[in-house]
Every structure is written in structure tokens, then in C-alpha cells.
């Protein structure tokens, strides 16, 4: 069977998402920035910032947003470029991710949450890959919400790998459209992103989910991730900000566009 059919089409869900554009966001993506800055401000080693972020109650935050209409969350936790950091830091982070996946596995069944990890898997330890596969396999049919971790992920890398997979499948170029191409992507079965939140006052996308954030609203907050993940007032601020955005998706009728006086 061609790889083309490995994932569900997202076109119907995308249309539904656009139709509900004025309500709460369905999919929020978080660029979890500022762990090291948070630690530095407090005179601590960088690893304390990562530990503080991991100890933050993401589960509580997800529950809070789900209760208000959000159903998909993507957390950018390690990029394809983060391998350039010191071996000590990378090793510490990989161990931390394993702990996070174990914790989420225990909570997944009682909360009916589906977990997914996007990104490359050829450069991370096999023991971590096994945890990821177990977490995904045993939560795949859960319907209470979707939590996604972007690990060894890069937007360029995802698109290149999707192109390679499409070519390998043998599908004729004339048969490739947006919906078809998405089936080859890590994020193919996910809702389009409604809002991206980046913490630590950095105002850039950093190669994150380039395909899915085509019409996403962007929110840059000054607080670092260890602060944001534990602050309900900041979560509410995110929803309030989204509610005041005017989303037109390239359309929107303008009254008296030409400026001509009516007769």
C-alpha cells in the first residue's frame, strides 16, 4: 500500500476549523522558550530551568484549555538545531523527555488524551523511541484531546522528508494537492494551528510547524516558559488575545471597496 494512505485526511477538519474561526482556538502551539534565561536570572545552572519547566503542570494547563474549547496542543521541546548545544545539556534533556513521556503515559488513560510525537527518530536513543511508540500506540484512539510534542523537529526537515516520501511512493505529480501532500507529513492528521504562543519575549518562528501555521495568529509574551506554564492568568490572556483577532484567511468583504459614491 502506498504511504499516501497512512494518515487520515485533514481537509474536513480544516474546513470546520475555519468555519469556527471566531470562537476559542482549536489548536494552540507553544514555542517553549526561556528555560535557560529563567535559571540565569536566578543565578542557577541552565538545567534547573529545564527541570522547572518539566516539573510545571502542563497537565493542569491542558485541562484548563480543554475546558474552554481548545482540543489540540503542540509543544516545541527540541529542534533539529538544538543538537549543537553541549552534550551534557542534550543528554540531560533527553533523560527529562523520557520522564515526561512516562508521566503522560500514566495520565493518558484516565483523561482520555491522545499523545503524539513529531520529528525525526533516527537520532534519538532507541529507549526513548520505544517510550514514544508505546505512548502513541496506547493512546491513539483516545478522544478527549490531542497533545503533541515536537522532538528533534524542524519545519524545513518535515517538508523535505514529506517530499522524499511522496516521491518514494510513486504517486504521479498530477495527483498531488494540499490534502494529499499532508498525508506524508508528521503533522498530516493534525488540525491547522490557530495560535502560536512564544514565551521569553522572542519574536520569531524558529523553523516551527511552517506548514501548519499558514494562517495562525502569533502571540509573543515576555514571561519565560517556566512562568507561563504555571500561570492561569497568562492562559486566560492568551484566549482573550485570540478572541480579539480578526481572522479573514485572505478573504473578507470590504464595503464600498472602490470608494465610489452611491447613486
- 75 CB-near residues (< 8 Å, 6+ apart): 29, 30, 32, 58, 147, 148, 149, 150
Please give the Cα distance from 129 to 132 (Å, whole number).
5
Q: Which residues of 225-241 are buried (b: 16+ CB within 10 A; e: fewer)?
A: bbbbbbeeebbebbbee
Please give the Cα distance from 212 to 83 (Å, whole number).
24
Catalytic position from the list 33, 152, 186, 194: 33
Give the residues across from 42 on adjacent strands.
none
33 has catalytic annotation = yes
Catalytic position from the list 55, 82, 189, 231: 82
- Residue 118 — φ and ψ, nearest 5°? -110, 155
CA distances for 201 relative to 33, 120, 213, 221, 224, angstroms: 9, 28, 19, 5, 8
- Residue 197 — φ and ψ, nearest 5°? -115, 120
82 has catalytic annotation = yes
CB-CB neighbours of 69 under 10 Å: 12
The single residue listed with the C-alpha cell 484512539 is 141
CA-closest candidate to residue 51, choices 95, 8, 114: 95
Which residues carry out catalysis?
33, 82
Amino acid at each position: 500500500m502506498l504511504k499516501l494512505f497512512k494518515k487520515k485526511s485533514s481537509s474536513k477538519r480544516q474546513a470546520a476549523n475555519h468555519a469556527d474561526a471566531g470562537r476559542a482556538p482549536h489548536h494552540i502551539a507553544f514555542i517553549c522558550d526561556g528555560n535557560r534565561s529563567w535559571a540565569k536570572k536566578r543565578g542557577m545552572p541552565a538545567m534547573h530551568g529545564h527541570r522547572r519547566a518539566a516539573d510545571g503542570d502542563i497537565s493542569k494547563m491542558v485541562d484548563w484549555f480543554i475546558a474552554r474549547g481548545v482540543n489540540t496542543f503542540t509543544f516545541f521541546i527540541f529542534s533539529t538545531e538544538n543538537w549543537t548545544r553541549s552534550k551534557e545539556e542534550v543528554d540531560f534533556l533527553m533523560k527529562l523527555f523520557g520522564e515526561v513521556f512516562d508521566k503522560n503515559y500514566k495520565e493518558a488513560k484516565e483523561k482520555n488524551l491522545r499523545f503524539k510525537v513529531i520529528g525525526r527518530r533516527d537520532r534519538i536513543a532507541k529507549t526513548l523511541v520505544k517510550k514514544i511508540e508505546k505512548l502513541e500506540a496506547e493512546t491513539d484512539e483516545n478522544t478527549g484531546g490531542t497533545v503533541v510534542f515536537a522532538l528533534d523537529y524542524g519545519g524545513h526537515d518535515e517538508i523535505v522528508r514529506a517530499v522524499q516520501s511522496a516521491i518514494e511512493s510513486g504517486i504521479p505529480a498530477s495527483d498531488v494537492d494540499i490534502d494529499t501532500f499532508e498525508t506524508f507529513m508528521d503533522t498530516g492528521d493534525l488540525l491547522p494551528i490557530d495560535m502560536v504562543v512564544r514565551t521569553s519575549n522572542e519574536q520569531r518562528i524558529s523553523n516551527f510547524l511552517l506548514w501548519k501555521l499558514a494562517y495562525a495568529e502569533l502571540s509573543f509574551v515576555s514571561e519565560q516558559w517556566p512562568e507561563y506554564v504555571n500561570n492561569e492568568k497568562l492562559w486566560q490572556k492568551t484566549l482573550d488575545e485570540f478572541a480579539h483577532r480578526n481572522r479573514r484567511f485572505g478573504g473578507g468583504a470590504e464595503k464600498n471597496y472602490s470608494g465610489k459614491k452611491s447613486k
